Chain A
Amino acid sequence: MDQRLTSRAEKKSQQADPPGQISAGKARGTSSVIGLLVKIVALGTIIGLAVMLTPALISTQQWGFLAVIWGVVIVLAVTYASRRFVPAKYLVPGTLLLVLFVVYPILMTFQLSTTNYGDGTRTTKEVTVSRIIGNAAQQVQGARTFELSVGSEGTATSGPYTFLLVDTATNDVFAGTPDGLSELDPGAVPIEGGTITAAEGFTLLDRRQINEFSQQGGDLEGFAVPTDDGVITAQGFSAVELFSPLEYDEAADTITNVETGVEYTPVQSGDRKFFTSADGERLSDQSWGENVGMNNYVRAFTDPRISSDFVGIFIWTLVFAVLSVGTTFALGLFLATVLNDARVRGQRAYRSILLLPYAIPGFIALLVWSSFFNSEFGLINNLLNLDINWLGNPFWAKVAVLMANLWLGFPYMFLVCTGALQAIPSDYKEAASLDGATGWTNFSKITFPLLLVAIAPLLVSAFAFNFNNFNAIFLLTEGGPFSPDNPTAGGTDILISYTYRLAFGGGAQQIGFASAISVILFIITGVLAALQFRATRALEEVG
């Protein structure tokens, strides 16, 4: 949890610093020429870059990005080239970065959530149809195989091309073009190492050239020689006679197996379509990408598998986040308060030791904790002579997760509490003591409220973080334990680990659906955080 929070804390403190207006004013006087040069170079570079990118974007027809890039360039040029818009000079970079790193990913996620993108739907329908037909191509009984040379009637790069083939079984030689196969005179073509090495009227291609021209868009891509039994196509530097029983009729949108006569038409199944026969047999597991509108959201709210577990998991997620923040804050604050007392000797040593869990990478710590909780061989049961099935019992698994998270999280709270405590002027306490306040009254009436003013925003972000603390759950329990009647929702699953399993399961990726869940989680977390910030504003008024 910690790095994100620290960086947020740092940002906060940076924002709190007043911008150095005086020094900036001075600098403007002395180095205005350099400033101007820098400005010109920078703006020039930006415009130059936009110009440079424009042809590439036009050629790939990315109009949206072309518009965005030139929009950004115009905004920057207007803002920095003129002497007006001084506030904008400070706001524009931050706003653009916000758009880039926050708004843009959210929009992309939302866009993805309206598609069925995932395993089996990564390709377009056109590609899917050609793959299905291609994957059905087989060498029929008695199919011939050939050693392949490719000849060009013009220069090597111009074509037209001809397959010069040597039958591997009979050593008969053939010339093959898209028009058909014709036999060559064996005496006319020299054969070396099984392949034709020269032919009258042809320039022979070397292997590199064959490879190059077979690439996407090359003249040899999809080059096929029709025969009575199918087609001869290249397989590397050999050629085989293949036959695919499948044919696609674009007008009727059906794939027909010409051997069996079975027709396959697209039939909707879940969020995608499969080519399916009249009696329900699927031709292939391959489907294709489509826009599905709001269907992923509808599914998230109506799928009985999800809705039946959702409430319970949502409550546990709240409990987990609240208790994680509560326990770490309580322990951190307690230790910070105790060690903040000037009478404690060796403060530094204690503090260093208490920060140790913070210094160990969370991934490793969680995996080690997971082995501590082993019921038979784990450290905790062995040391304390307990017989608790920590990770196998839903209640104890929850306790185990909270314990490990407490260990991981308290040093951070200890750290920020120590800092906040030291920032509270000691005069307040002395004044209260003079008025007769005891230690506890002092703490609860003076120190704690003042501390909360500084800490409350961090508690909110810690809550938001723990609400989506995937690592703590997944590395410790993987969401388990599970009961056999419901292997999708485990005893310690929080929303994020639960939806991760739903979306990615064992291996099948439903990225469109996962994006929809992400958007929903984003909204839930955002609403909760907004409510909490509203609550903390009340605190500040107290302070």
Chain B
Amino acid sequence: MRTRTTRTTVRSFAVVASVSFLLTGCSGGGGETTSADTTATTAAAPAAGESAAPAVRGDEDLIIWAEPPRVEYIQKIADVFAEENGITVGVQGIVNPRQEFITANSAGNGPDVIAGAHDWIGQLVQNGAVDPLQLSPDDLAGYSETAVDASTYESQLYALPYMVESVALYCNTEYAPDTYASIEDVVAAGQPAVDAGTLDLPLILQQGELGDAYHMQPLFTSAGGYIFGRDAEGNYDPTDLGLNKPESIAAAEKIASLGETGADTIRRSISSDNYLSLFTEGRAACMVSGPWALPDVQEALGENYSIQPVPGFAGMQPAQPFMGSQGFMVASSGENKAFAQEFVANGVNNEEAMQILFEASNQPPAMVSVREGVTDEDVLTFATAADQGAPMPALPAMAEVFAPLGQAWSAIVGGADPTETMNQTSETISQAIAGQ
């Protein structure tokens, strides 16, 4: 069981640990005393005193934390900012930065800026870990509306968006060469090859035994379902849980028709472990997945793939996948807040910086003017798909939704009664939210 320690306990631990080092040195003989002494001194020095904490702040003038794969391109704009301001800027790659940041920030040794997904915002605000950004509407007019919507929480902007993402539909053009208007058409395109035995299945939509609410969202929304409603100001409303509403139950029934007891298109045997290999090995015609799958798809299929936004059910609403936005946020207890605010409000908030970020990452930009110069069709498709999506709710309540809703999809795909399942799941989730 993991337990997190407060700053006091961590520091105290370092102090006590230093004594233990000495003990080791003492019983081990004179030779070790020097090295033990050095260790103890470092561990007990106030600045580095939290050495027991996994992620430790660097000592540059401005520190940015990001997920390790994003460090490379963030470093590029950090360097520009460093040069303009005559300071040093460090970008640290942190595994699981969301939790590490909350812990480190409350201990006062976190970064000044955190780069992360918009759906962290609810939890970060709940923990008082980020400050709102005070940008004018003019500043924000240049960004995709969905991205600004995503970065806004309780009517305040908390992140400056630079990149958007969502799932889209990949197709193997050997079996499914067209653009499809509905999910029924997608299934129909691959079905002949499945019947002939050359393909295992027409469409990959990963669920696994535990279900996957993220990947089911486009179909759920197309069939009319919703998780949280929105209030008059456009904020997601945690008290309006829609899972047991008639439209959501109807959507669950529609999804059940594609499940194992229906058309057998969506199966629990396809999970995050095997979805990609099934598609790249050419065992399925199409796949619902995000930009992270693109490098593998390109390598396996060469030119023989196409990407399009996920279509909805025939004659129903358009599919709205969960849209995600990556952005920069200002830490509430950062050491160098002035530089942090300057970096987010001016250092990144301009076309040149956004252009650098795009060129280095090749991910769909959040800034509209940068998109105009993009020639890569795949990037543009993913940008369109993200714009058509709806931001994943950043509410802390959302944490109580994913697992139970996923399990509900798994059960419904496996043949459980949709009405009963959705009612039970809705009940469980609302209880969990009330107990939060």
Contact of A285 with B274 in the complex, beta carbons under 8 Å: no
Min CB distance A270 to B, Å, is 6
CB distance from A289 to the nearest CB of B (A): 9
| Chain B min CB distance to A98 (Å) | 11
Q: Taking CB as reference atom, which chain A residue is nearest B136?
A: A145
Which residues, 231 to 252 on A, are CB-close (under 8 Å) to B? 234-238, 240, 242
- Nearest CB in chain A: distance from B434 CB, A: 8
Query: Please, which residue of chain B has its CB at the minimum distance from the CB of A512?
Result: B3
B27 partner residues in chain A, CB cutoff 8 A:
93
Number of interface residues of B (CB under 8 A): 97
Given contacts A65-B12, A370-B273, A484-B411, contact A93 B338 (CB under 8 A): no
Contact with A along B396-434 (1 / 0, CB 8 A): 101111111001101100101000110011001001100
Bound-complex Cα distance A304 to B24 (A)? 48
Complex Cα–Cα for A256 and B163 (A): 38
> In the complex, which of the residues B16, B25, B278, B343 has the most CB atoms of chain A within 10 Å of its own CB atom?
B16
- Please give the distance in Å from B160's CB to the nearest CB on chain A: 12
What per-residue 1/0 map shows which CB atoms of A36-77 lie under 8 Å from chain B? 011001110110011011001100101011001100100010
Instruction: Give the chain B neighbours of A517 by CB distance below 8 A.
Output: 1
| Chain B residues within an 8 Å CB radius of A37 | 30
CA distance A131 to B108 in the complex (A): 15
A57 near B127: Cβ-Cβ < 8 Å:
no
Within 8 A of B (CB), among A65-111: 65, 68-69, 72, 76, 80, 93, 96-97, 100, 104, 108-109
Contact partners of B99 in chain A: CB under 8 A:
509
CB of A482 within 8 Å of the partner chain: yes
Q: Mark A449-468, 1 if CB is under 8 A from B, else 0.
A: 00000000000000000000
Please tell me if the beta carbons of A120 and B22 are within 8 angstroms of each other in the complex: no
A46 to B8, CA, bound (A): 22
Are B128 and A487 in contact, with the CB atoms below 8 A? Answer: no
Among B186-194, B263-271, B306-314, B383-391, the stretch that binds chain A is: B263-271
> CB < 8 Å: which of B9, B128, B337, B435 contacts A286?
B128
Number of chain A interface residues as a range? 35 or more
- Kindly provide the distance from the CB of B246 to the nearest chain A CB, expressed in whole angstroms: 18
Contact A135 B132 (CB under 8 A): yes
**When the two chains form the complex, which single residue of A69, A367, A506 contacts B400, counting CB atoms closer than 8 Å?**
A506
| Closest Cβ–Cβ distance, residue B23 to chain A (whole Å) | 5
B residues less than 8 Å from A505 (CB atoms): 399-400, 403, 432
**Segment with Cβ contacts to B, from A207-215, A328-336, A343-351:** A207-215
Find chain B residues with CB under 8 A from A487 CB. 403-404, 407-408, 425, 428
| Chain B at the A interface: SS class | helix
- Interface presence of B210 (CB below 8 A): yes
Distance, CA A482 to CA B29, complexed state (A): 57
CB of B168 within 8 Å of the partner chain:
no
With A65-B16, A207-B85, A234-B338 known as contacts, the answer to whether A123 contacts B403 (CB < 8 A) is no
A482 touches B407 (CB 8 A): yes
Decide yes or no whether B44 CB sits under 8 A from chain A. yes
- Residue A139 at the chain B interface, CB threshold 8 Å: yes
The proximity string for A residues 409-428 relative to B, scoring 1 for CB distances below 8 Å and 0 otherwise, is 00000000000000000000
Question: Which of A93, A207, A515 is within 8 Å of B23, CB to CB?
Answer: A93
A532 at the interface (CB under 8 A from B): no
Q: A511 at the A/B interface (Cβ < 8 Å)?
A: yes
Q: Is A151 an interface residue (CB 8 A)?
A: no
Is the Cβ of B399 less than 8 Å from the Cβ of A270? no
Known contacts A108-B5, A508-B396, A480 near B125 by CB under 8 Å:
no
Check: A392 CB closer than 8 A to any chain B CB.
yes
B195 lies within 8 A of chain A by Cβ: no
Cβ of B421: which chain A residues have Cβ within 8 Å of it?
484
Measured CA separation A482–B412 after assembly (Å): 12
Task: Evaluate whether A236 and B345 lie within 8 angstroms (CB atoms) in the complex, with A93-B27, A119-B127 already known.
Answer: yes
Which residue of B16, B106, B132 contacts A137 across the interface (Cβ within 8 Å)?
Answer: B132
Closest to A168 in B: B136
Residue among B16, B156, B410 making CB contact with A135, cutoff 8 Å: B156
Bound Cα distance from A499 to B2, whole angstroms: 11
Known: A97-B20, A487-B425. A238 touches B346 (CB 8 A): yes
Per-residue contact bits, chain B 1-35, to A (CB 8 Å; 1 contact, 0 not): 11111101101100111111011011101100100
Please report which residues of chain B, range 349-406, place their CB below 8 angstroms from some CB of chain A when the two chains form the complex: 396, 398-404
**Most chain A C-beta atoms within 10 Å of own C-beta, residue among B30, B61, B86, B99:** B30
Residues in A whose Cβ lies below 8 Å from that of B87: 207-208
The residues of B that contact A508 with a CB separation of less than 8 Å are 123, 396, 399-400, 436
Given known pairs A214-B337, A236-B343, A237-B338, the reply for A484 and B15 (CB within 8 Å) is: no
CA of A35 to CA of B410, assembled, Å? 69
Q: Does A481 contact B (CB under 8 A)?
A: yes
CB of A481 to closest CB in B, whole Å: 6
User: What per-residue 1/0 map shows which CB atoms of B158-175 lie under 8 Å from chain A?
Assistant: 000000000000000000
Q: Which residues of A contact B268 (CB under 8 A)?
A: 375, 392
Chain B 256-268 near chain A by CB (<8 Å), digits 1 or 0: 0000000000011
Closest 6 CB pairs of A and B: A236-B342, A236-B341, A507-B399, A376-B269, A506-B399, A42-B26
Name A residues whose Cβ lies closer than 8 Å to a Cβ of B: 34, 37-38, 41-43, 45-46, 49-50, 52-53, 56-57, 60, 62, 64-65, 68-69, 72, 76, 80, 93, 96-97, 100, 104, 108-109, 112, 117, 119-120, 122-123, 127-128, 131, 134-139, 145, 207-208, 210-211, 214-216, 234-238, 240, 242, 270, 284-286, 305, 367, 370-371, 374-377, 391-392, 477-478, 480-488, 496, 499-501, 503, 505-509, 511, 514-515, 517-518, 521
Additional A-B contacts beyond A62-B8, A236-B338, A488-B428 (11; CB < 8 A): A49-B37, A76-B26, A208-B86, A236-B341, A236-B346, A375-B269, A482-B411, A484-B425, A487-B428, A499-B1, A514-B2
